[in-house]
Amino acid sequence: MSTTTTTTVTINNDVINKLKESLLDVNQPIAKRFRALFTLRNLNCIESINAMTEALSDKSALLRHEIAYCLGQMENEHALKVLVSLVENTQEHPMVRHEAAEALGAIGSQLALDTLKVYSKDTVPEVSETCQLALSRVEWYTINDPESIESKVYLSVDPAPSLNKSVPFEEVRKQFLNRDLDIFNRYRALFSLRDMGDEKSVLALCESFLEPSSSLLKHEVAFVLGQIQHKSAIEPLKKVLLDENENAMVRHEAAEALGAIASTETVPLLEQLVKDKEPIVSESCLIALDVTDYFNNTEEFQYADGIKILLEKNLIEKQQQQQQQENK
C-alpha cells in the first residue's frame, strides 16, 4: 500500500535565488534551465521577473524568446520596459523580438502602444505581423470584456480571442484558411479550432502547413497543436520539423509540440535532430525530449515537480481572485 506525503512549500527569496542560479548557469542542461524559468514564471512576482530578465543576455535565442513569452503570460506591467527594449532592438533575433511584441499585447498596457505602432511597419515580417496582432488584441479588449477563467479551455494568455462558440466548424475552418483576412481574424479562428480540439479541427489546423502562409501563423499552429496533444498531429508536425527550408521558429514549435504530445514514437526523430545545424531547433529537441520524458515518467512527476504543481495551482487561484475583484 502506498502512502502520500504532503509537504508545505514556502516561497521566499531563497527559493527565487536558487531558481535564478539554475536559470543563469550556462553549464546546466537547457531543459533544466527551462524548468527553472517556468517555475519563476508561476511565482509571478517582481523578484521572479527580475530574476528572469537577468538571463536575457544569454547566448541562446531560444531561452531569450521563452523568457519574453513567460513575461507576457505573467501579465505584469513590471516587465514592460524590458519587453519594449527587446522589440526596439533591431540587432536582437527576430524570434525574440516577435515574442516580446506578443508579450506586450498580452499585458495589454496602453504604455506599449507607441512601440507597437512604430514596429508594426518593421522590415522583419514576424515582427511587424506580431505588432499588428498585438495592437488588434489591445483594441479588442478595450471594448470587449475579457473571457472568464471558468469559460476558458486553456489557461494561456492568447494573442487573440476565440470566436463565439456558436460559430459552426466549417465557418471557422474557412475563416482560418482565408489568406485574404488580416492576421488577427485568422488567429481568432485558429484558437477556436484549438478549443474544439477534435480530430477534424486538428487536421484543419494542419492544412495551413501546406500553404505558403506566414511563418508567424504556422508557428502558432504548431504551438496550439502541442496544447491539444492530439496524436493525429504527429505526422504533420514531423514533416515541418524535418523541413530545413522552414523558418526556425516554426520548426522549433513543431519540436516542442511533439514533446507535449509525448508519444515515444517521436523520440528517435527528436534525438536525431538534437544535432541539427540550427541551434534553435537542436535546443528545442532537447526540451521536447525532456517534456516527453516528464509525461512518461510517473516517479519523476511525483517527486521532482511537486513544487511546480503547487505553483500552477497557486497561479490559477490568483487569477481567479483577480477576476472576481475585477467583476465587483
The answer for residues whose C-beta is within 8 angstroms of residue 257's C-beta and 6 or more apart is 222, 223, 225, 226, 233, 237
The reply to whether 65 sits in an annotated binding site is: yes
Q: How far is Cα 118 from Cα 240, in angstroms, rounded to an integer? A: 32
The reply to whether 93 sits in an annotated binding site is: no
Cβ atoms of 314 and 288 within 8 Å: the answer is no
The reply to whether 230 sits in an annotated binding site is: no
The reply to whether 78 sits in an annotated binding site is: no
The burial of 213, by beta-carbon neighbours within 10 Å (0-12 exposed, 13-18 middle, 19 or more buried), is given as middle
DSSP per residue over 38-75, as a string?
A: HHHHHH-SHHHHHHHHGGGGSS-HHHHHHHHHHHHHHT
User: What count of other Cβ atoms lies within 10 Å of the Cβ of residue 12?
Assistant: 9
DSSP state, 244?
Answer: T
CA 171 to chain CA centroid, nearest Å: 26
End-to-end CA distance of the chain: 47
Q: Which of 295, 271, 296 is nearest to 284 (CA)?
A: 271
SS (H, E, C) 122-172: CCCHHHHHHHHHHHHHHHHHHHCCCCCHHHCCCCCCCCCCCCCCCCCHHHH
The reply to whether 252 sits in an annotated binding site is: yes
Instruction: Return binding residues for Fe cation.
Output: 65-66, 98-99, 219-220, 252-253
Binding residues: 65-66, 98-99, 219-220, 252-253
